[in-house]
Amino acid sequence: MFFLPAATVAEAVTRIFSLTGAAEAGTRGEKRAIVALRDALGLDIDVARTNARMAQQIAEVLRVEWRPSYEELNRVNLDGLNALLEGATDAYHENSLRRLAGQRPGRLSGPEWLAFQPAQSKIEAVNRISALTNSGPEWLGPGSKEHKRVLVNLANSLAPELDTRLSKTKLGAALANAFDAPWSAECESTGETISLVGLNTLLAGAERRLGKLGSDRAMLLGTPEEEGKALAAALLDAWRASAHPDGSKRVIWDARKCIHWMLDQGVTEGPNQNEWQGFYWESRGRAVLNAAFTPNPSPPRTRYGNTAFDYSLRYVWDLKAHTEAWRYPVSGRTLTGQGVAPLNDQESMSACIEDQGLGFLMAGGVAVADEDETFVEWHRQFKAAQGVKSKPSNSGRSRQRKAAFEPHHVEAFYFHNLPALEAAKAAGQVTGFQQGKQAPDEEGTEGRARRPKYNLSVPKARGSLLAVARFDWPRVES
């Protein structure tokens, strides 16, 4: 079994919640994650005890060695949470970790619903419902609203006698009645929206009608293409366009805010990097996906050599941010960026693709140049305050910094096997390159050499069999 440690405390907590099936109730803090593990293991530990002591007792049950280094002032640090997470993951695979009621609707408490495994998010729910009717991957509309077609497809497949011209909430109630599933006011939200309770009620009813109650959720997304679309849709839904002083509505990642977010989440490397947007997309994206989809009880291998790919459900995925253009706010210029996006080292990519295939979830957009250099000055002061010494450049020149990044779309690309990789090379969609050396530790020295990587020609890949999904963030220009 391959375990991928959480990169942040927030990710560790989210994955513990996902494993245990615990429902959200306000903040997802360290204490609540430990209590969720306690409850899922059926342990009698007083919540008045410190987090560290509770965690130590849980570790004993999980057969995990508890080390003093896992504790900081009676709290559990990231290493300690990862130790609990790994033990809980093993217990989950051994079926010794009891799934909590979590998102299970309260009215689905009868013995006939005992095998039902609720979806932990609306994006998981609509995709599982859609998979039951072979209707293809689903995504959420503005405001995290499910599309009516999810219910229409369900009715056409399992209850063709129903009038699909009914409003969405009335159609949901009619479907629940046809499935003998309990429908209540909590199944509906304002604005003709079905709540997660309602979607889980319909999912349970449809699964029971088809004899699939309790079936493997990770298998329901089916192919890499279907999984890639569902994951990309979940990532798109995690960021919302906001109003800006110029009157436009866009998604913008402000460098300072993203760096502080990573710092608060315990991301150790990203806050100090020039390419902060890639680390932000990776760390927050992993947290989004871990919260959106129930984990696979038998996950695929994610580590090859020194490379740990970011996420897996049924298939393995890595998250990449790609700069398609540069915008210079002071001069008003816009320059086209590179058409190629660096991927991972060739050896690890080839090994993973040969074993099981490999996908990429890519955020493409426009970098906002730090034209007046206020950000680079702030960043240097920030790093100095963290005790980080800025490394010299191999070329002796300072690279253009990004004061912000405006993502325009999420795309998914997938390599099924080595022949697919070789075909992509032959078509010029994938090329190899030798990345420059790492930054030297001291002036007058050279940085360490890097392993050869692959580049993806994004424009060429979009028109190929590698492309499996694309979703665009809505933008309203001023």
pLDDT at residue 219 in the model:
53
Could you state, in order of their start, the residue ranges of all structural domains in the chain? 9-93, 111-215, 224-472
pLDDT of 268 strictly over 90:
no
Mean pLDDT, all residues of the chain: 88
- Asked whether the predicted pLDDT for residue 102 surpasses 60, the reply is no
Percent pLDDT > 70 in the chain is 90
| Residue listed under structure tokens 């099981």 | 356
Asked if the model's pLDDT at residue 27 lies above 60, the reply is no
The pLDDT assigned to 344 comes to 95
Q: Using CA atoms, how far apart are residues 167 and 165, in angstroms rounded to an integer?
A: 6
pLDDT in tens, 410-445: 999 999 999 999 999 999 999 998 876 565 556 656
Of 4-13, 193-202, 281-290, 388-397, the least confident: 388-397
Among 1-5, 133-137, 434-438, top mean pLDDT goes to 133-137
Amino acid at 340: V
**pLDDT score, position 474:** 85
Residue 218 pLDDT class (50, 70, 90 cuts): very low
Report the b/e string of 176-210 with b at 16+ CB within 10 A: bebbebbbeeebbbeeebbbbbbbbbbbbbbbbbe
Query: By the 8 A CB rule, do 297 and 93 touch?
Result: yes
Query: Considering the entire predicted model, what is its pTM?
Result: 0.81
Give the sheet arrangement for strand 453-457, strand by strand: 340-345, 453-457, 430-433
Query: pLDDT tens-digit profile of 298-314?
Result: 789 999 988 999 999 99
